[in-house]
Structure 1
Amino acid sequence: MEHLEHKKKVMIMIAIMSAMLFAALNQTIVGTALPRIISEIGGMDYYSWVFTIFMLTSSVTAILVGKLSDMYGRKPFILLGIGVFMVGSFLNGLSGSIFQLILFRGIQGFGAGMIMSTAFTAVGDLFPPRERGKWQGLMSSVFGLASVFGPTLGGWIVDNANWHWVFWVFLPVGFIAFGMIYKMFPSQTAKTGQKVDYLGSIMLTLTIIPLLLAFTWGGNDYDWLSVQILSLLGGAVIALILFIVTEKNASNPVLPLGLFKNRIFTLSNMIGFILGAGMFGAIMYMPFFIQGVMGTSATKSGIVMMPMTLSMVLASAIGGQIITKTGRYKFLALIGLFVMSSGMVLLSFMDTDTTNARALINIIIVGTGLGLSFPVFTLAVQNAVAHQFLGVATAATQLFRQIGGTIGVAIMGTVMNQSMANKMSEQMGAVKESPVLSNPDAAKGLEKLQDPQLIMNADKLNEIEKTLPPELSGVFDTIVTGVREALSYALTNVFLIGAIILFVGFLLTFFIKEIPLRMSNKEETEAKKAVNE
């Protein structure tokens, strides 16, 4: 599609970005609204699963569709992805329990994997590497735009209307995106004579699923050295070995192992894994801090988060323009990761006395670093591989980034839960000895306050306070303050771990070899040498 006239390319990109906007809006609106949703339908212990299942299904789908789109073209998969995502969104709004929400989020993940994989690959079809920088930046800006409107609207909906509309409000955008893609996106000739690597796909799936389950359940539902966790990890290792054997013998492997001989491909995906862990950690747990620790409403929480995404949009757009003009990208990745890790360190110093202004400055720093670094590694990979591997290589970058996000959120969730449990046990000791708790009804009412879900719901807090006798008002305030302090302590550990992870990514970036950005998709000499064809 590189030969198409510029106007046609721009129209296609508008169609692609509209599809991405639909998927991204549905993702970002959940983050701010979820604490309130969880407080109504329950399931705090499964909070991270709402994100984990989405990342799991989208990760597996992205890599499989990446290879299939190389074989059959991008258009059918992006259309199917939009359709599946719309079904998942509609069903999410009907959820009556946390388990239904998790299931339907999984369906959404299948659709999102198809959309994101084909969307970023299509940029590589339309433009040579030297021109991709600005378009990658604009596509990243779509995520930023969604992050500006999504959280704010999500917070407003749960504060002023039925939370089910969080999942339904953007369905019209999905219909528009589907129509635009169907009409504007050109069909590509399918490559005949190539077999689908079903066995490799199964082995890859059986590697990813138990691995993520182990990191999700470990430390929460089961001890890290329990039979369940060790069995899952062992199963993942066995499946990985079988996957490698399968791919070596496959005529058309779902993930060509030769790509990993390319140092740029391997390092970029390692850093993408790290970036995903840090990025999703900040996006997921920052609303918890703003609402749970600072006591900000869901609506205002979205407003506080807005500068992070605006700074990401601006940094991403500027970074993309710099890459297109200079042909250089490595220095932007270094600056971005350093700035982002510094911002996470600042987040780790926040506490119950933190003001909205201080939180705002810290998350602007995180957003700026994220915007500078986010598009770089996909561009580096696309520039380093031959065009015939464009789909699977691009999908691989998303696979590693999303797996990093899933595992990162799971580990951070374990750290948060354990840290909070320890702190709560320490702080509640004195309260339990209070003589006023000899009243069973009063004791039962105050016990409910130790549920962190209630901290995110001011209305329920007020209801509990009204049911207590006047002599318990002081104990009530003590417990609420204690829960906020425990949550603050736990999230401080989460942000500090995120900062350390991102700094490791910063150090690894020094080892990436920067090769010139090609001026045409036909200039693949460097890429073919790198992949050892």
Structure 2
Amino acid sequence: MEHLEPKKKILIMMAIMSAMLFAALNQTIVGTALPTIISELGGIEYYSWVFTIFMLTSSVTAILVGKLSDMYGRKPFILIGIGVFTVGSFLNGLSGSIIELIAFRGIQGFGAGMIMSTSFTAVGDLFAPRERGRWQGLMSGIFGLASVFGPTLGGWIVDNAEWHWVFWVFLPFGLVAFLMIWRLFPSQSVQEKKKVDYLGSLMLSLTIIPMLLAFTWGGNDYEWASYQIIGLFTLTAAALIFFIVTERRAANPVLPLHLFKNDIFTISNVIGFILGAGMFGAIMYMPFFIQGVIGTSATKSGFVMMPMTLSMVFASAIGGQLITKTGKYKLIALLGLFIMGSGLALLSMMDSGTTNTTAVINMIVVGSGLGLSFPVFTLTVQNAVQHQYLGVATAATQLFRQIGGTVGVAVMGTVMNSSMTSKMTDQLSSLENQPDMESIPAETAAQLQTLQSPQSLMDGEKLKEIQASLPPETQAFFGKMMEIVRESLSYSLTNVFLIGAVIMAAGFLITFFLREIPLRMSNKEEPLKQENIDSQSANL
């Protein structure tokens, strides 16, 4: 499709970005609205499944559709993806129970996986690698914009209208995106019909799903050493072995194993895994620090987080333009990872005396580094593989990034919980042994016991109400206790950010081993092999 007129390419990209924005906004808008939805539907014990099911279905679908789109073209799958996602969004708004909501979120996930996989691959169809940088940067910025406006809009809707509109408000955008793709996106010639690798697809699904569930549940719903988590990891290992055996024998493997012999493909996905772990760690745990340690309200914390997202969008656009202009990507990747790692190191130096201003500056550093490095590794993979593998290779980068995010959040969550428990136990034990504890009534002491959780710090107004209702003789103890809880949360979160900085440092070092080959000027060119590079270097 790279032969199309520039004007038509731009129109097609606008259609693709509309579809991506539609899907991304529907993901981010749910977070702030979900507590209100749960309060009406009930089933808080299944709360996490609203997110988990979406992650599972979208991750598995993305990698499977990546291969199918290489065989049958992108257009059918992006249209089906928009259609499925739109139906899922509509059904979500009709949910009458938490079980229905989870089921319909799963449908949304199937659609989202198709949209995300085919959208990034379509950029590779439309533009040669040398031109893709600016568009990959803009595509990455779509997620940043969605994370800025989605949560704010979700909170506004549940405060001023029925929660159903959280899922329905963007339905017209889905229809517009569908029509634009249908009219503008050219149909591609179907490759020689080959047998679909059903067994490989099943084994890949059985590898991904238990692994994601294990890292999602581990340390939260179940202990890491529990038979449930060990069983999931065992199932993952067994399925992976069967998957490798199946793919070696398959005539048309769903994920060709020979791609991993390409060092650029492998190293880029390893770095993508690391980047996902650092990215999701910062995004997931920073709100805890803003609300719990600094004491910013939930409403204002969204505005405090916004500069990080905006800096990511800006840096993504700038980085993409630089790659397109210079044809170089390794230096930009190194710079992005270094800046992001430095930002996480700055976050690890914060404490209970940190102000919102300092937090914002540190997060802008993180967002800038993330924006520079995020689009690069999709581009490096696309540039290093033959065009016939573009879909499956692009989907693989998204899968590794998703798995990295899941593993990163799980590991950092374990670090946070263990650090916080040890710190709080030591300090509270000395406080509870003080003589004035004997004067506190048993009922009040039990009430104070329930506040010895970081969750109590997330609602400052409610905490003030509780403090006002306590007897005067307990006020001093209450102040000391909450200060210990705040200090413990700060200590645990800074450990989380330090782990994130170490992870990014590892990604930075690995990037030095990433070969930088020239960005191809046309999709018809073959990727430059190592022997060709060595030959060119000898001639210079």
Question: Same fold by TM (over 0.5)?
Answer: yes
SS state of the match for residue 526, structure 1? coil
Task: Output the CA distance in 1 between the equivalents of 2:483 and 2:446.
Answer: 18
- Matched with 2:505 is 503
- Matched with 2:528 is 526
- Matched with 1:485 is 487
Q: State the 1:121 CA deviation.
A: 0.3
Equivalent position amino acid for 2:367 in 1:
G
CA contact (8 A) 2:204 2:240 kept: yes
Q: Note the 1:11-410 alignment, pairs <5 A.
A: 11-30=11-30, 51-90=51-90, 104-154=104-154, 156=156, 166-410=166-410
CA deviation map 1:376-417 (0-9, x unaligned): 111011111110000001111101111111111122122222
Seen in structure 2, the aligned counterparts of structure 1 residues 363 and 466 have a Cα distance that, compared at 3 Å, is: same
Q: State the 1:38 CA deviation.
A: 8.2
SS state of the match for residue 461, structure 1? helix
User: Which of residues 441, 466, 476 in structure 2 aligns to 1:438?
Assistant: 441
CA contact (8 A) 1:278 1:499 kept: yes
- Matched with 1:514 is 516
Task: Output the CA distance in 1 between the equivalents of 2:167 and 2:13.
Answer: 25
SS state of the match for residue 182, structure 1? helix
Q: State the 1:105 CA deviation.
A: 4.3
Equivalent position amino acid for 2:388 in 1:
Q
Moved more, 198-207 or 179-188: 179-188
- Matched with 1:464 is 466
Percent identity at matched positions?
74
Seen in structure 2, the aligned counterparts of structure 1 residues 99 and 340 have a Cα distance that, compared at 3 Å, is: farther
CA deviation map 1:418-466 (0-9, x unaligned): 32233333343355452354242x2343333234334323454345345
Task: Output the CA distance in 2 between the equivalents of 1:449 and 1:383.
Answer: 54
Seen in structure 2, the aligned counterparts of structure 1 residues 428 and 528 have a Cα distance that, compared at 3 Å, is: same
CA deviation map 1:341-365 (0-9, x unaligned): 1101111111221111100000000
Equivalent position amino acid for 2:380 in 1:
A
Task: Output the CA distance in 1 between the equivalents of 2:421 and 2:38.
Answer: 19
Q: State the 1:293 CA deviation.
A: 2.0
Seen in structure 2, the aligned counterparts of structure 1 residues 35 and 411 have a Cα distance that, compared at 3 Å, is: farther
Task: Output the CA distance in 2 between the equivalents of 1:153 and 1:354.
Answer: 28
Q: Note the 1:443-458 alignment, pairs <5 A.
A: 443-458=445-460
Moved more, 28-37 or 105-114: 28-37
- Matched with 1:414 is 414
SS state of the match for residue 242, structure 2? helix
Task: Output the CA distance in 1 between the equivalents of 2:487 and 2:103.
Answer: 33
Moved more, 103-112 or 237-246: 103-112
Equivalent position amino acid for 2:516 in 1:
E
Q: State the 1:338 CA deviation.
A: 0.6
Equivalent position amino acid for 1:189 in 2:
S
- Residue 496 of structure 2 corresponds to residue 494 of structure 1: yes
Equivalent position amino acid for 1:283 in 2:
I
- Give the root-mean-square deviation of aligned CA atoms: 2.9
For these two proteins, the number of residue pairs brought into alignment is 529
SS state of the match for residue 235, structure 2? helix
Equivalent position amino acid for 1:332 in 2:
I
Seen in structure 2, the aligned counterparts of structure 1 residues 100 and 366 have a Cα distance that, compared at 3 Å, is: farther
Task: Output the CA distance in 2 between the equivalents of 1:297 and 1:154.
Answer: 17
Seen in structure 2, the aligned counterparts of structure 1 residues 68 and 502 have a Cα distance that, compared at 3 Å, is: same
Seen in structure 2, the aligned counterparts of structure 1 residues 309 and 283 have a Cα distance that, compared at 3 Å, is: same
Q: State the 1:142 CA deviation.
A: 1.5
Q: State the 1:189 CA deviation.
A: 3.1
CA contact (8 A) 2:71 2:193 kept: no
Seen in structure 2, the aligned counterparts of structure 1 residues 168 and 492 have a Cα distance that, compared at 3 Å, is: farther
SS state of the match for residue 352, structure 2? coil
SS state of the match for residue 219, structure 1? coil
CA contact (8 A) 2:520 2:527 kept: no
Equivalent position amino acid for 2:441 in 1:
S
CA contact (8 A) 2:384 2:527 kept: no
Seen in structure 2, the aligned counterparts of structure 1 residues 15 and 266 have a Cα distance that, compared at 3 Å, is: same
Q: Normalising to structure 1: TM-score of the pair?
A: 0.90
Q: Normalising to structure 2: TM-score of the pair?
A: 0.89
Seen in structure 2, the aligned counterparts of structure 1 residues 342 and 446 have a Cα distance that, compared at 3 Å, is: same
Q: State the 1:138 CA deviation.
A: 1.2
CA contact (8 A) 1:315 1:371 kept: yes
CA contact (8 A) 1:32 1:302 kept: no
Task: Output the CA distance in 2 between the equivalents of 1:109 and 1:404.
Answer: 18
Task: Output the CA distance in 2 between the equivalents of 1:223 and 1:28.
Answer: 29
- Structure 1: segments with no counterpart, 5+ residues: none
Equivalent position amino acid for 1:505 in 2:
G
Q: State the 1:152 CA deviation.
A: 3.5
Task: Output the CA distance in 2 between the equivalents of 1:77 and 1:158.
Answer: 33
Seen in structure 2, the aligned counterparts of structure 1 residues 45 and 105 have a Cα distance that, compared at 3 Å, is: same
- Structure 2: segments with no counterpart, 5+ residues: 533-540
Task: Output the CA distance in 1 between the equivalents of 2:489 and 2:103.
Answer: 28
CA contact (8 A) 1:39 1:454 kept: no
Which structure has the larger Rg over C-alpha atoms? Answer: 2
CA contact (8 A) 1:93 1:167 kept: yes
Moved more, 101-110 or 371-380: 101-110
Equivalent position amino acid for 2:317 in 1:
A
Q: State the 1:84 CA deviation.
A: 3.0
CA contact (8 A) 2:219 2:410 kept: no
Q: State the 1:483 CA deviation.
A: 2.8
CA deviation map 1:139-178 (0-9, x unaligned): 1121222233224334555677766655444343333322
Task: Output the CA distance in 2 between the equivalents of 1:44 and 1:273.
Answer: 31
Task: Output the CA distance in 2 between the equivalents of 1:212 and 1:25.
Answer: 23
CA contact (8 A) 1:341 1:366 kept: yes
Equivalent position amino acid for 2:438 in 1:
P
Task: Output the CA distance in 2 between the equivalents of 1:419 and 1:101.
Answer: 35
